Amino acid sequence: MPPRKARKTMPIKYKIDILAKLKEKGYSSTRIRNEKLIGQSYLQQLRHNEMVSWKTIETICRLLNCQPGDILEYVEGMEGK
């Protein structure tokens, strides 16, 4: 089996621990899955600090009552590393 290609990272990162903040607001991983708010694959991506879809960002912002800029930030010099 050939080795996996290294992923290029985007110069965007999370400002906060999304899952911890959701849990503070009463949205445990179990509740999120049971209510089908965010898919399991996206929850896994969040656990690994990987970027998720804009639709998922929209859902997170709705649940946390925030704006994307409250949870995401641009990090200069991080492009393609």
% of residues, the chain, pLDDT over 90: 79
Torsion over CA: 21, 23, 25, 28 (sign): positive
Higher pLDDT, 79 or 27: 27
What would the pLDDT profile of 36-60 be if each residue is shown by its tens digit? 999 999 999 999 999 999 999 999 9
pLDDT of res. 7: 56
Between CA 69 and CA 75, with CA 70 as vertex, the angle to 5 degrees is: 55
Mean pLDDT in residue range 13-40: 96
Can you say how many angstroms the Cα of residue 16 is from the centroid of all Cα atoms in its chain? 10
What is the structure's pLDDT at 76? 85
What pTM was computed for the model? Answer: 0.81
Report in angstroms the alpha-carbon separations of 45 from 1, 12, 19, 37, 57: 24, 14, 11, 15, 12
Position 8 scores a pLDDT of 61
Give the position of tokens 């911890």.
Answer: 20
